[in-house]
Structure 1
Amino acid sequence: MKKAILCIATFLMMANSFAAETGYITPRTEFGAPDFQGTWTIATQTNLERAERFGGELVISEEEAIQIEARVQARNEASNRPSDPNREAPTTGRNVGGYNTFWMDPGERLAVVNDEIRTSILVDPEDGRLPYSEQGRTLFAAAMQQRQSYDGPEVRPLGERCMVGFGSSGGPPKLPVLYNNLTQIVQTDSYVVLMAEMNHDARIVRMNQDHQQPSLNPWLGDSVGYYEDDTLVVVTTNFHPQQSLRSSLEHRFYGSMEMEVTERFTRTAEDTILYQFTVDDPRVYSQPWSGELPMNANGEQVFEYACHEGNYALPGILAGARRADSEGIDYAPTDPGQ
C-alpha cells in the first residue's frame, strides 16, 4: 500500500509540474469542475510492456521514433494491397483470421508524454515489465491456457462473447487495442461517464461516494471518483471474476478480484489529457505498477458498436470444436488478441 501511495504521489507531482510549465489553464464545467468532456483516443504503437530491444530505456530519440513509425506505415501499406485472387487455399487446421487491415486502427505513432517519446506505457517498475509474483505467473498462465478451451460458451473470451470489449479497452486501466480506441467522457456534478467505443462499455463513476459492498462485482468494477485541483481521480475495486484476464494482441495482464486501480485524468492542453494509473494487486504482483499515456482529442462521433448482435458465430465455433473432437483434429490456436 505504501508503494502504491508513493506511485500516485509521484504522478501528482509530475502532472502539476507539467501544467505549471506550459501555463495551460484547465477549462471548467458550469458546475466548476475541470472539464474533460469530449471524444478522446488512446490509439498508439507504444505497448504496455517495454520490448527488450529498447535496452530498458523509457524514452527514445525522434530519429529512432521516425524509423519505428516508418516500418509501421510500410507494413500497413503492404497489408492494404489487394489480395491475389489466385492465391492458394489456407493450410488445413490453421487459423484463417477474421479481419483485413481496413478494419484495424491501432494507431501509427508512439505515445508522447511530457514531450518524451515513450517505449512503454509502463513507467514503474523502471524496467517497464509487469512485476508478477510466482503465484501471479501461475494464475496468468492458467488463464491463458483456458482460452484454448471450447468446452462451452462460458470459457470463451469475453470479447468473443460480446460481454465487454477486448483487452482492457473499457478499463480500468484503459489500454489501447487493435481498433475502436475512442472514449467519450460526459460529466455531471454527481457522475462522470467514461464510455469506451468498443462494445459501448460505459463506466459510470460516482463522485464523492463510497464503494459498494464487496459482494457486488459489476463488469469494469465499481468506480468512485473525486477532483483533486485540476485532476479527476478515479478509484476502482470489486472487479468481476470473469474479467481477470485482460488480453489483446499487444497488451495482456492478469488482475484478481482484490485488484485496486487508481486512475488520474489531467488535462494538459486543449487537445490532450494525461492519463495515469496505478494497479495494486498483492495477490498477483510483487509490487504496484503504474503507467501513463496521452488521450488525444478526436472530435469524431462515436458510432454504434453492435458486436454481432449477440455474436451469432458462437454456436458455429462450438459446433466446429465438437466436429474436431469427433475426428481427432487439433483445434486452431485461439488468437491471443481475443
Structure 2
Amino acid sequence: MKYLFTIILIFSSFIFSESRNPYVTWYGDPDLQGVWTNATLTTLERPRHFKTLEVSVEEADAAAKRAAAESFAYDNEYKQGETPRTGRDVGGYNTAWMDPGGELFQLFGKHRTSIIAFPKNGKLPWDRKKADKFFQKMRKDRSRRKDHPELRGVGERCVVGFGSSGGPPMMNVLYNNHYQIVQSPGYVMIMAEMVHDARIIRLGGTHPPEDVTPWLGDSIGHWEGTTLVVETKNFNYQHTFRGGLRHFFAISPKATITERFTRISRDQILYRFYVDDPDI
C-alpha cells in the first residue's frame, strides 16, 4: 500500500530558537523547534458528502458547524446523574474533554476535505487480498482471551498514543494534539502530548537490524535544503493497528514511512508523509 498525505502542523505556543534568524538554529540547521498542533476537523479519508479535495469557505464553515453539532449531541447524550438505557455503553468523555479542532485545515489558503492527497479520491488504497489476510490475523489475535495486561492493546494500556498520535505518521485525534520539537546537533526530538511519546530522530546513519523494533519504529533523517526528511522502519508488531474514532488504518512491521517537514511560515510547518507497506 502506497499513499501520500498532506497536513499542516499549526504553531500553537512559542519558539525555543534564540538565533537572529528564527528559521535557523545556532549551529546552522533549519529551525523547526516549538510547540505545534495538528488539531483539525479534516479526517484521514474524505467523507462521502465531499466530492473534491478542496472546498469553498462556505462549505468549510458548514462542515465545521455540522461536526460541532454532531459531536455535542453524541458526547452529551446523558445528563449528569442520568442512568443509561439498559444494554447501552455508559460512554466515556463528554465534550469538555475533547479538543479535535474547530475547522477543516487549510493548505495555502484552501480548505481540505481529507488528509490523504493521493490517491485523488482521498481513500486508503488497500490491496484487498493482503489487507483481508492481515486483518483476519489481527482480529484473531484481538479476540483471544486476555489473561494478563500485557496481552491488551498498547494504545489501550497507554504504552503509546492511540490513533497513531505519536507517529509515524503523526495523526490528529480527539484531544492532546500538540507536539514539541527540540533540535540539537545530529538529532531532532519530537514529543507528542498524547502519552508523551518521544521520538528521537538521528540525522545520518543507518537503521539497526530488523529485530530491533522500538514502539515508534526506528527513525533516521537528513536535510534536503530546508526540508527535514525522515525515514522510519522496524515497526513493532504490537503497534500495527492505528485506528481511532475518526480514522482506521494499520502499519505492518515491514512498512517504510517517509516524512517531510518544511517550515513555510513563522507559525506553520508543512507535514507530508508517504507510506510504503508491502503487506497491506
TM range (shorter): 0.7 to 0.9
Give the TM-score of the pair, scaled to structure 1.
Answer: 0.72
Larger Cα-atom Rg: 1
Deviation at 1:81, TM superposition (A): 6.7
Deviation at 1:222, TM superposition (A): 0.1
d(CA) in 2 for partners of 1:82, 1:124: 37
d(CA) in 1 for partners of 2:40, 2:25: 29
* Structure 2 residue 38 is the aligned partner of structure 1 residue 71: no
How do residues 209-288 of structure 1 correspond to structure 2 at under 5 angstroms? 209-284=205-280
Matched residue SS, 2:275: strand
Question: Which consecutive residues of structure 1, in runs of 5 or more, have no partner in the other structure?
Answer: 12-24, 285-338
Question: Which consecutive residues of structure 2, in runs of 5 or more, have no partner in the other structure?
Answer: 7-20
* Cα distance change on mapping 1:204 and 1:34 into 2, 3 Å: same
Letter of the structure 1 residue corresponding to residue 122 of structure 2? G
How do residues 140-179 of structure 1 correspond to structure 2 at under 5 angstroms? 140-144=135-139, 146-147=141-142, 150-152=145-147, 153-179=149-175
d(CA) in 2 for partners of 1:96, 1:81: 12
The structure in which a higher percent of residues are helix is 1
d(CA) in 1 for partners of 2:242, 2:131: 14
d(CA) in 2 for partners of 1:163, 1:250: 20
* Cα distance change on mapping 1:161 and 1:114 into 2, 3 Å: same
Deviation at 1:194, TM superposition (A): 0.6
**Conserved in 2, the CA contact under 8 Å of 1:203 and 1:220?**
yes
**Conserved in 2, the CA contact under 8 Å of 1:150 and 1:156?**
no
Matched residue SS, 1:273: strand
**Percent identity at matched positions?**
48
Aligned length: 264
**Conserved in 2, the CA contact under 8 Å of 1:26 and 1:268?**
no
Give the TM-score of the pair, scaled to structure 2.
Answer: 0.86
Matched residue SS, 1:247: coil
d(CA) in 2 for partners of 1:257, 1:96: 35
Which of these residues, 129, 143, 150, is aligned with residue 123 of structure 2? Answer: 129
Aligned to 1:192: 188
My pick for the range that moved more, 269-278 or 65-74, is 65-74
Deviation at 1:213, TM superposition (A): 1.1
Aligned to 2:54: 59
* Structure 2 residue 106 is the aligned partner of structure 1 residue 94: no
d(CA) in 1 for partners of 2:81, 2:200: 51
* Cα distance change on mapping 1:124 and 1:137 into 2, 3 Å: farther
**Conserved in 2, the CA contact under 8 Å of 1:48 and 1:122?**
yes
* Cα distance change on mapping 1:40 and 1:58 into 2, 3 Å: same
Deviation at 1:255, TM superposition (A): 1.3
d(CA) in 2 for partners of 1:158, 1:181: 19
Aligned to 1:117: 111
Matched residue SS, 2:249: strand
**Conserved in 1, the CA contact under 8 Å of 2:64 and 2:103?**
yes
Matched residue SS, 2:130: helix
**Conserved in 1, the CA contact under 8 Å of 2:72 and 2:95?**
no
d(CA) in 1 for partners of 2:157, 2:75: 28
d(CA) in 1 for partners of 2:207, 2:193: 25
Matched residue SS, 2:40: coil
**Conserved in 2, the CA contact under 8 Å of 1:235 and 1:261?**
yes
* Cα distance change on mapping 1:119 and 1:198 into 2, 3 Å: same
* Cα distance change on mapping 1:148 and 1:116 into 2, 3 Å: farther
**Conserved in 2, the CA contact under 8 Å of 1:262 and 1:278?**
yes
d(CA) in 2 for partners of 1:247, 1:281: 16
My pick for the range that moved more, 153-162 or 103-112, is 153-162
Deviation at 1:96, TM superposition (A): 1.1
Aligned to 1:310: none
